[in-house]
Structure 1
Amino acid sequence: MMATTTTGQESYSLNLLGENSGDGNDMWTTDTTEDVTDVHFPLGVDREELGETVWGLASTTIIIVAVVGLFGNSLIILVSREIFRQRPTMPNLLLIYLSWTDVLNCSLGVAPLALSYYFKIYVNQAMCDFNATVLLALSVASQMIVAVMSVDRYWALLYPFSYNRHFGYDKWKIYPALVFIFLYTIVVSVLPLFGLVKNVPQYPDSYCMFDWTDDSPSGRVVVYINVVNMFLCLFIIVVVNAIVAAYMLRLRRVRPRLPSRDSEIAATSPAGVQECRLEIQMAKLTLVVAVAFFCSWFLFATRILANQIGGWPNKDLDYLGARLMTFNSVINPVLYIIMRKPCRKGCWMIIKSGVHYVTFKMVAAPTMSLAETVAAR
């Protein structure tokens, strides 16, 4: 992808062997080659280098990710806002913010990536910096929101009384955490803009991000801040959701099935039963989202670390990790629609309404409003 540099010691050894031309003083000089961060704009994906088959598959899938991610997350935002209005809980609020993060990522981060397969979209360093800053900021925000969602479900299921006492339905208590995430992502994403490390095109010149191989002190700081953030979020997500999964499995095994008499008693207080079912459903959704999130991010985080420490260089694995990372924005809305009945019914209602007006009312309009649709059981 990018030329490698020759270290001073290597050049010095070559000079001693008489590899360099010139007078005797040349043997004390070091070879100066082009820096790895020197790039020549404009840049875009080299179709020949990538290969026709890989290029066709990659360009098609990234367009699908951008379109489906943008459309799907927009639907989820509309439906989730109505669900949150009827049931203002922390996980419903966090789902809205995660969907907004994915919408911004698909429109500002993934869309330029898709265009890079057809055009030399990175015309200068400023465009590269913009793409890198947006991708990094939204990536960090997404990681931290999923981690907060996992901790929220862990607390709500394993310590319900403590959770209700400290949070309950008071959405304002989650805002300090969201403000912290916002400020942290801004600070981390703009560090390369202050010269601590340079944003460079990553193979196959389809997107930009900070230089993973920068071995300067400031460059290492930026790289390891992001690596630690990724692995810490993944660790929290895996451990917390593993505990939640074990708890739910144990609960399912020890909880006896309700006999007919108990079912009648439970029917007298349907609100409590319904609330418990919704908590379990949300925990299942968070668990599946966490697994998908781990599969999307683990290889990418590992490849950044591998490039930084100089072990196992492999541009194809770097490329695969980056592509799996982009799928994260489209996986979430698909999971919401599949696993949450109110989301599924609400999205279908919105789509049916859109088709009704696009076809000039040739298709029948929905019989219920969005509020009635998501409230129906």
Structure 2
Amino acid sequence: MTEPSTLPEAEPSPAQAPAAAQVAASAAASPEPAAMPPSAELTKSTPVGLPGARWVWPVLVALVVALVAMAWWLNNRLYATQAEIAQRLQTATTDAIEAKTLTKQASDSVRDLTTRLAVLESRQQDFAAQRQALETLYADFAKTRDQARLSETGQLIALAQQQAQLIGNVQPLIATLQSADARLARSPNPKAQILRRAVQSDLTRLRSAVTPDIAAAAHKLNDLAALVDSLRLVSAAGPAHGASAPGTPPVASASAAGPRWAPWLGDWFERFRASLVQLFGITRVGSRDALLASPQQGEFLRENLKLRILNARLDLLSRNAVAYRSDMRGIDEALKTYFDKRQPRMVQALSLARQAAQLDLSANPAANLESLAVLSTLDSGAP
């Protein structure tokens, strides 16, 4: 048998000899460690930190995002609040300006009415002064009895004419003319007979003439002004009470043929239908501003309507036909626009306004009297 051939081992170089000897000595000194699992090696190689350290950054990012969102929401909320406050301030300023304007208009109207009242008082004083002057002239006038009687008759007729034109009632003028006719009938003076024929002609014309009753119209305007505070505005009106749907059949009587529960069911249905009718209501409004009127604006509307009625009354007393018709149209439009027409007092107010508006101030039968023209001719000495 042949022995296996062996290769000679390579000898280490002189430079590697000390290192190899050191490694061999270290391997011989320490026992070979046991094999470790891969998880143990991974744990050993990963540095150990605080528990939950990997959630720190996500939490910080979430907090920053939440703070930014909250700041954005607060900024929007602050902007909306500022805008609402600015809008309310603007609305309050507008309301204050409107109230100031209405107050100024009311003050101007009161000032105008005060001026007109002063003018009427001045005219009344003038009439009183004229009457006093006429009485003085009558006392001093003593030429002849007939001439004094003619002058007295003429002055009384002129005074009665002014009174009739002022109050719009010709009854005092008719009474004065009748008294003058009776006085002139006892005079044998030819001039008195001529004047008497003129007086009789005026009496015939005045008795057949249609005269405006200013006192009755003024009384109607006073009643209308007293009703203004009790009228209900359209904006404050509710569903009409007691309204029922048209065309509903009557409830069957208890004696009608049918089950015993039929009358009870009919009564219950009628009560249910009446409740539905009172729950819903339809109102026709001519102006949308009437529905938006606040209680404060309602007070202004009532005061303005009262001033309009007072102005119409002054126009009535001063016999200003154009201004009176304009004021009455405004009163009628205000009543129909801003007040509820379903209330009974509203019907009464509209009736009073309509009756007062029908007065014709242009008719003035006491304007031209034939008796005064004849008296002027007689005083001038004309044949």
TM normalised by structure 2 equals: 0.22
If you compute each CA radius of gyration, which structure gives the higher value, 1 or 2?
A: 2
Give the TM-score normalised by the residue count of structure 1: 0.22
